[in-house]
């Protein structure tokens, strides 16, 4: 009987929650089943909703081939940091409980249409996908692992930048991860960078832009400083599409924009080409 005691507005909101997903970009209503079947991409405006690292892994990796690597690496609190909202250690513990992850990046091995690949997949829901000492260590260890096996290395970035709760330790990871990827280059091991929404701050200023090929999802936010900071600094109005994947492609910062549904097949073609050359 609870349904009949609800107001018309409450019943409408319940129906919306149960049946529909509202696109954050164009506000069009899409059946939840259709939204899920479409990989959380709006059928009207092509908005790509942010998804977690597990979802990305399942979209790209052949079933039954995934093996996690460096899963023992987790967060640390080198500064014993605390702010007005509480200790960093408590925030990290809450993020682990919420996501089931040990850090903001999932690392491991799998196959793309039979081709072995090492992966580092960032998750924005873990403290904004921030680059920390633990995240940098996992990426570095996995890059070294890929180098030993001569397996291509793919990083999927989704990050707000360096995790400032760890101070200089987090900033050091920019150089550390770049050095690990430079070693892959010396070994002629392919490194593919996939930039998703958002890829910003210290991540965009380090390994995210170092790929032998840099790929982005449509309309992904990619940049270093925020739009407002830049506009106030240079005293100019920036273009509406500034820091979008499309803007970066037009200006030569990335190589391709690939829709989520096409990503696995695109990567397969790139990996086949790299094997032949």
Kindly report the CATH number assigned to the domain that includes residue 182.
3.90.226.10
Same domain, 118 and 178: yes
Same domain, 78 and 208: yes
Evaluate if residue 16 carries a pLDDT over 60.
no
Same domain, 66 and 120: yes
Evaluate if residue 33 carries a pLDDT over 80.
yes
Same domain, 5 and 37: yes
Same domain, 13 and 80: no
| Predicted pLDDT at 276 | 78
What percentage of the chain has pLDDT greater than the value 70? 94
Mean pLDDT of 107-122: 98
Average pLDDT, the chain: 94
Full domain range(s) for residue 104: 50-276
- Judge contact between 131 and 160, C-beta under 8 A: no
Same domain, 116 and 37: no
Q: How many residues does the chain have?
A: 277
Mean pLDDT of 61-90: 97
Same domain, 118 and 4: no
| Predicted pLDDT at 240 | 92
Evaluate if residue 3 carries a pLDDT over 60.
no
Same domain, 16 and 109: no
Evaluate if residue 8 carries a pLDDT over 90.
no
| Predicted pLDDT at 15 | 52
pLDDT digits (tens, 9 = 90+) for 150-194: 999 999 999 999 999 999 999 999 999 999 999 999 999 999 999
| Predicted pLDDT at 18 | 76
| Predicted pLDDT at 10 | 55
d(CA 129, CA 90) in angstroms, rounded, equals 17
Evaluate if residue 133 carries a pLDDT over 70.
yes
Same domain, 178 and 136: yes
Same domain, 43 and 64: no
**Domains: count for the chain:** 2
Same domain, 137 and 208: yes
Evaluate if residue 1 carries a pLDDT over 70.
no
Same domain, 225 and 138: yes
């Amino acid at each position: 009987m609870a349904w009949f005691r609800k107001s018309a507005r409450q019943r409408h909101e319940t129906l919306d929650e149960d049946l529909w997903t509202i696109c954050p970009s164009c506000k069009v209503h899409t059946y939840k089943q259709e939204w899920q079947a479409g990989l959380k991409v709006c059928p009207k405006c092509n908005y790509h909703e942010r998804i977690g690292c597990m979802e990305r892994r399942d979209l790209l990796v052949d079933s039954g081939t995934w093996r996690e690597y460096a899963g023992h690496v987790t967060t640390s609190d080198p500064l014993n940091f605390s702010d007005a909202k509480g200790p960093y250690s408590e925030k990290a513990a809450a993020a682990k409980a919420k996501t089931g992850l040990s850090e903001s990046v999932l690392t491991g091995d799998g196959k793309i249409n039979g081709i072995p690949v090492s992966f580092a997949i960032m998750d924005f829901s873990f403290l904004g996908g921030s680059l920390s000492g633990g995240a940098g260590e996992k990426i570095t260890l996995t890059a070294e692992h890929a180098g030993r096996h001569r397996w291509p290395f793919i990083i999927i970035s989704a990050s707000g930048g360096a995790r400032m709760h760890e101070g200089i330790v987090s900033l050091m990871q920019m150089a550390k991860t770049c050095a690990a990827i430079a070693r892959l280059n010396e070994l002629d091991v392919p490194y593919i960078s996939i930039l998703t929404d958002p890829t910003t701050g210290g991540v965009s200023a380090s390994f995210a832009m170092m790929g032998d090929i840099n790929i982005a999802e449509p309309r992904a936010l990619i940049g270093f400083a925020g739009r407002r900071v830049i506009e106030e600094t240079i005293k100019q109005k920036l273009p509406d599409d500034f820091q979008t994947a499309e803007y970066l492609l037009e200006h030569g910062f990335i190589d391709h924009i690939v829709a989520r549904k096409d990503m696995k097949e695109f990567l397969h073609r790139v990996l086949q080409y790299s094997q032949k050359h």
